[in-house]
Amino acid sequence: MRLRVLGCSGGIGSGEQTTALLLDDDVLIDAGTGVGCLTIEEMVRIDHVFVTHAHLDHVAFIPFLVDTVGSMRIRPITVHALQATLDTLQTHLFNWQLWPDFTKIPNIHDPYLRYEALAQGDTLVIDGRRITALPANHVIPTVGYQLDSGKSSLIFSADTTINDAFWPIANQIENLKYLIIESAFSNHKRDIAIRSKHLCPDMLMDELQKLARPAEIFVTHLKPGEADLTMREIQQSMAQWNLRRLENNQLFEF
Domain count, the chain: 1
Q: Summarize pLDDT for 2-38 with one digit per residue, the tens.
A: 999 999 999 999 899 999 999 999 999 999 999 999 9
* Residues 86-101 pLDDT 10s: 999 999 999 999 999 9
Structural domain including 19 reads 2-253
Q: How many CB atoms lie within 10 A of CB 213?
A: 14
Percent of the chain with pLDDT over 90: 100
pLDDT in tens, 151-167: 999 999 999 999 999 99
Which residues make Cβ contacts (< 8 Å) with residue 250, sequence separation at least 6? 4, 5, 8, 218
User: What was the pLDDT predicted at 147?
Assistant: 98
134: Cβ–Cβ under 8 A, 6 or more apart, which residues? Answer: 120, 143, 144, 145, 146, 155, 157, 158, 166, 169, 170
For 50, 115, 116, 188, the CA distances from 78, given in Å and listed in that order, are: 8, 6, 7, 40
**Residue 130 φ/ψ, nearest 5 degrees:** -100, 125
Mean pLDDT of the chain: 98
* Domain CATH number, residue 64: 3.60.15.10
State pTM to two decimals.
0.97
